[in-house]
Amino acid sequence: MTNQDLLAAVKEYGSPLYIYDAAMMESQYNRLVNAFKDVKHIKVNYAVKALSNMSVLKLLHSFGAGMDTVSIQEVKLALTAGIPPEMIIYTPNGVSLEEIEKAVTLGVQINIDNLSILEQFGTKYPKIPVCIRINPHVMAGGNTNISVGHIDSKFGISIHQMPHIQRIVDNTGMHINGIHMHTGSDILDIDVFLYASEILFDAATHFKDLEFIDFGSGFKVPYKTGDIETNVEEFGEKLSKRFNTFCDNYGKELTLAFEPGKFLVSESGKFLAKVNVVKQTTSTVFAQIDSGFNHLIRPMLYGSQHEIINISNPDGKERFYSVVGYICETDTFANNRRINEISEGDILSFHNAGAYCFTMSSNYNSRYRPAEVLWYQGKPHLIQKRETFEDLVKNQVQIEL
């Protein structure tokens, strides 16, 4: 997509706007699969929570991806998008047994991450295959907000509770067909992740009828020029060799599974917003846009830095701007950032806006959520309409006073 393509999309669909490049998603999918070309059975389950638009799910499935879901609603979204239930894994956290039972009726793979539910489920449904989520107590990323493998994490069953797991499995006679871990996002050190993988391999030896081992994901993508990223090629080479050795010792060819979200869609996305006002104060020049953290909360929630380009004046002289929103809160996207000179009415493009951006948007300040567009085969396709006032109030019920 060129800047002119982006500007034309804003002209057609309005601002603010999310737009995703299908070719970039395909490239990332192929890159990951090729990194594990030496493994006989590889399965990529896309993390639906990253970007849950059904057109995106359908697109990724066309490449060969299954779906990693964390709620019964995500399961239904995947099914509605045409993904077969056998290509969907359901990995909830802190849900009731009743919700898990709903997933069972839909025919998807169940992944359980706590002892209480494991025992209840095994007692009631011993013949239904179950995957177990292990917490290896290893942080492969550097941000505790997005790391889920540390010792105080609410996710997974502690690796130190393996005797409890085995007791439940033996007592219920339940069928364990997979074992899983997820250390969190932004993997910085491949060797740390490989260390966590050894813990998972050791846990896997306790189960004799496994079909797959799921290593989660968390591959880091670059957010700015010079930013570090996970070397998936090196990682693929090292883990493939170890996985194949494990399968030889296990006596069975297993499937190596991953559940990437950000890696597949983050770099494909751009968030486009119009500059309402350029405001000079005693010490700062603000570029105030027609959006806020109601549309893009990651900079405020995680401190993430999205590269911002003035696509209306890409060759202009650089100046320092603080880019802020129109929400009645502090909603700062960038502090004193070098950006090509901005005028009111210009369109700013936020990079890496494909993952955990639209899906975390809200109607705060009673603002509408933006439209979404998929750039597919050289053309823009509307995949989510911009909200209207009718959308905002359709579920509200006014009482008589």
How does residue 153 score in pLDDT terms, banded at 50, 70 and 90?
confident
In a domain, 250, yes or no: yes
In a domain, 9, yes or no: no
Residues of the chain with pLDDT > 90: what percent? 86
Structure token digits, residue 384: 């989510």
Question: Domain range for residue 238?
Answer: 22-264
> What's the rounded Cα separation, in Å, for the pair 45 and 212?
12
Average pLDDT over residues 111-119: 96
Average pLDDT over residues 217-246: 89
243 shares its domain with 109: yes
pTM comes to 0.93
Average pLDDT over residues 303-308: 92
Q: Which of 264, 296, 330 is the last residue of a domain?
A: 264
How does residue 149 score in pLDDT terms, banded at 50, 70 and 90?
very low
Nearest Cα to Cα of residue 76 among 108, 101, 47: 108
203 shares its domain with 107: yes
Angle at 347 between CA 307 and CA 304, to 5 degrees: 25
370 shares its domain with 223: no
Supply the mean pLDDT for the chain: 93
371 shares its domain with 271: yes
Say which CATH number the domain at 348 has. 2.40.37.10
pLDDT at 151: 56
In a domain, 6, yes or no: no
Alpha helices (runs of H) in 251-314, residue ranges in sequence order: 262-265, 298-301
> What's the rounded Cα separation, in Å, for the pair 101 and 128?
11
The alpha carbon torsion through 346, 352, 358, 361 (nearest 10 deg) reads -80
User: What is the tens place of the pLDDT at every residue in 31-75?
Assistant: 999 999 999 999 999 999 999 999 999 999 999 999 999 999 999
In a domain, 4, yes or no: no
User: Helix 97-105 to helix 72-80 angle, to the nearest 10 degrees?
Assistant: 20
Average pLDDT over residues 5-23: 98
375 shares its domain with 259: no
Q: Which of 236, 264, 292 is the last residue of a domain?
A: 264
User: What is the tens place of the pLDDT at every residue in 171-226?
Assistant: 999 999 999 998 765 666 788 889 999 999 999 999 999 999 999 988 888 887 77
pLDDT at 137: 87
Nearest Cα to Cα of residue 94 among 112, 109, 106: 112
User: What is the tens place of the pLDDT at every residue in 326-354?
Assistant: 999 989 999 999 999 999 999 999 999 99
In a domain, 401, yes or no: no
pLDDT at 325: 96
Structure token digits, residue 213: 């081992």
In a domain, 271, yes or no: yes
Q: What number of CA atoms fall less than 13 Å from residue 238's CA on the CB side?
A: 14
In a domain, 8, yes or no: no
pLDDT at 144 exceeding the cut of 50: no
213 shares its domain with 98: yes
331 shares its domain with 296: yes
pLDDT at 146 exceeding the cut of 70: no
252 shares its domain with 331: no
Q: Which of 264, 287, 317 is the last residue of a domain?
A: 264
Q: Known catalytic residues?
A: 328
Query: What is the count of structural domains for the chain?
Result: 2
272 shares its domain with 205: no
How many angstroms separate the Cα of 311 from the Cα of each of 2, 337, 340? Answer: 9, 15, 9
pLDDT at 185: 54
> What's the rounded Cα separation, in Å, for the pair 85 and 76?
10
pLDDT at 150 exceeding the cut of 60: no
pLDDT at 223: 80
In a domain, 391, yes or no: no
> What's the rounded Cα separation, in Å, for the pair 36 and 243?
10
Say which CATH number the domain at 29 has. 3.20.20.10
